[in-house]
Amino acid sequence: MNRSIVQYLSKDASSCGYCKSSTGNVSHGMWAHTLTVEDYQNLIDRGWRRCGLYCYKPLMKEICCPAYTIRCDALNLKLTKSQKKVLRHFNTFLRKPQKNDEETSSHVPRSECCDVEFKLPKPTDQNIRPLSSSEKETSSSYVEGDTVAELREPKVTSDVEPKPKMAVEKISPPTDAKPGVGEDTSKPKCKKAKLLRVERKKAKLLMKGISEFPLKKTISASEKTLEEYLNEYEGGQRNLEIVLVPACSDESILQESYLLYKKYQTTIHNDEEDECTFSGFSNFLVSSPLQARKDSSSPPCGYGSFHQLYKLDGKLIAVGVIDILPKCVSSVYFFYDPAYSHLSLGTYGSLRELELTRKYSKQCPLLNQYYLGFYIHSCAKMRYKGNIQPSYLLCPEAYSWHPFETCLSKMEASKYSRLNDDTSVKSEEDTINPDEILVLTQQGIMPYPLFRTMRSLSTEDQELVTEYALLVGRTNSKKMFLRFR
């Protein structure tokens, strides 16, 4: 079977993209040469996050802006008024587009600015080198129970596909619309659509003999679902097409996505053009350590890293970078054409990713969560994440999940907080045994005790190995191959 291969880099301090501190962004780092989707799922449930091939876990008691992992229970999504407004506005745009789509306000709401780009460490500064051919062969040949002298030939499994086939989801093409004849001033002004819907509902219920008293409750019980909002427009003059492709897709798609990314970064985040290189884009949003896997237990597209391309009449206007894992859809980054900022594409993209999660949960019941990355309470433009309800924050000590609302007072009172009130609660994954770790060497796979003796590891290095095991948890420390520099 394929195994994850990681190289632990210990503690790292860098500049913060939120408060602009020069050294306040303190985190543990790990270079992931390759990761199974199961191992990465376990990592994000212990507060890790990936940026390209680099995985990092904030040191919550030291970092300038504590970052809590946040997720939404997709199946029980409760749309807010503002989210419904975004959906209706987008549908109206598809039905009745402006004469010039790009004649829009240059103002972008704070909530529409996605997370800032995480600055990757330079591999050369961290003694990181690519896997050698012997290391690749050794890791793929490993079978449970092998020792360094008993490696077998690699097993080929039909379940693993390096590149899942492209999955395309299309919004129904528009039907021809009849031209209007203008406003009829002899008739009263049209009522708002919401008011008309309420009046129609009220009339129907009264005809059935239902009194006014339970009316509000009855109407509330028939709230439209996310899917109904997304599919309610008819006779649109615009065609929205959403295409799901593997992150490492063909060059033409990547070039088009890169140009859009560059436009987004320079306009929305005020980056300099020379900072937005193709290699930077590729390292950040294209390269992924996740091993693509497609089998009977996965959604149709398989598991792995993907780009969701939003095309309006064939023009790329937004890209959502996501990881599809056994228990969730994890949002990595979202960027869009600033000319369409009036459509609140950041919010719309989150709702589309929630729709995807809900859709895949029907085939894969465990895949029912939507991860939004980190939530930083001191960062105003992060507040939109808490508005996606019901959402939960991960306790950075007990690794338990807690309703967002119950965490607010704790985060208001203190920059850092243990979210689980019961200080006796401890994760079972914290019960580690470093001797269970397997080390990848040029000679083969070694049990850590043997490697420690052969290399005469210093006390400092042994402490780093124990630290690594605690940070990734017992399950992952036993499964993943640890590579030394």
Token pair 């059935």 is found at: 208
Q: What is the pLDDT of residue 250?
A: 86
Please, what is the end-to-end C-alpha distance for the chain in angstroms? 24
pTM: 0.84
Position 382, amino acid: M
With 0-12 CB in 10 A as exposed, 13-18 as middle and 19+ as buried, what is 59? middle
Position 117, amino acid: E
The pLDDT-based confidence of 395 (bands split at 50, 70, 90) is very high
Residue 341's closest CA among 104, 90, 86, 88? 104
The pLDDT-based confidence of 224 (bands split at 50, 70, 90) is very high
Mean pLDDT of 243-270: 94
Q: Is the pLDDT at 101 greater than 70, yes or no?
A: no
* Local structure of 394: helix, strand or coil: strand
The pLDDT-based confidence of 165 (bands split at 50, 70, 90) is very low
With 0-12 CB in 10 A as exposed, 13-18 as middle and 19+ as buried, what is 360? buried
The pLDDT-based confidence of 280 (bands split at 50, 70, 90) is very high
Structure tokens at 440: 């990848």
Of residues 215 and 42, which shows the higher confidence score?
42
Mean pLDDT of 428-444: 95
**What is the Cα–Cα distance from 197 to 257, expressed in whole angstroms?**
40
Spatial contact of 48 and 9, defined as CB atoms under 8 Å apart:
no
Q: Is the pLDDT at 139 greater than 90, yes or no?
A: no
Q: Is the pLDDT at 421 greater than 80, yes or no?
A: yes
Q: Which DSSP state fits 83? A: H
Q: Is the pLDDT at 155 greater than 50, yes or no?
A: no
The pLDDT-based confidence of 312 (bands split at 50, 70, 90) is very high
**What is the Cα–Cα distance from 295 to 54, expressed in whole angstroms?**
27
**What is the Cα–Cα distance from 133 to 143, expressed in whole angstroms?**
18
Q: What is the pLDDT of residue 106?
A: 47
Strand-pairing partners, residue 306, are 246, 322
| Beta-carbon-side half-sphere exposure of residue 183 (alpha carbons within 13 Å) | 5
pLDDT digits (tens, 9 = 90+) for 463-483: 999 999 999 999 999 999 999
* Local structure of 78: helix, strand or coil: strand
Q: Is the pLDDT at 203 greater than 90, yes or no?
A: no
pLDDT digits (tens, 9 = 90+) for 112-124: 555 554 555 554 4
Using CA atoms, how far residue 459 sits from 29, 36, 447, 450, in Å, is 20, 31, 18, 15
Residue 48's closest CA among 372, 463, 475, 374? 374
Q: Is the pLDDT at 364 greater than 90, yes or no?
A: yes
Q: Tell me the Cα Rg of the chain.
A: 25
Q: What is the pLDDT of residue 137?
A: 72
**What is the Cα–Cα distance from 162 to 292, expressed in whole angstroms?**
5
**What is the Cα–Cα distance from 284 to 264, expressed in whole angstroms?**
15
Using CA atoms, how far residue 15 sits from 54, 62, 116, 127, 278, in Å, is 16, 13, 12, 21, 22
Residue-wise DSSP of 100-168: STT---S---GGGS-PPPPPPPPGGGGT--PPPHHHHHHHHH--TT--TT---PPPP-TT--SSPPPEE
Spatial contact of 67 and 48, defined as CB atoms under 8 Å apart:
no
Mean pLDDT of 377-394: 94
Spatial contact of 12 and 80, defined as CB atoms under 8 Å apart:
no
Q: Is the pLDDT at 315 greater than 90, yes or no?
A: yes
Position 227, amino acid: E
Q: Tell whether the torsion through CA atoms of 14, 19, 22 and 24 is positive or negative.
A: negative
Q: What is the pLDDT of residue 211?
A: 61
Q: Which DSSP state fits 180? A: P
Q: In what order do the strands lie in the sheet with 391-394?
A: 167-170, 240-246, 304-312, 315-325, 328-336, 369-375, 68-73, 391-394, 401-403
Using CA atoms, how far residue 46 sits from 274, 393, 421, 430, 476, in Å, is 36, 12, 18, 10, 11
Q: Is the pLDDT at 161 greater than 60, yes or no?
A: no
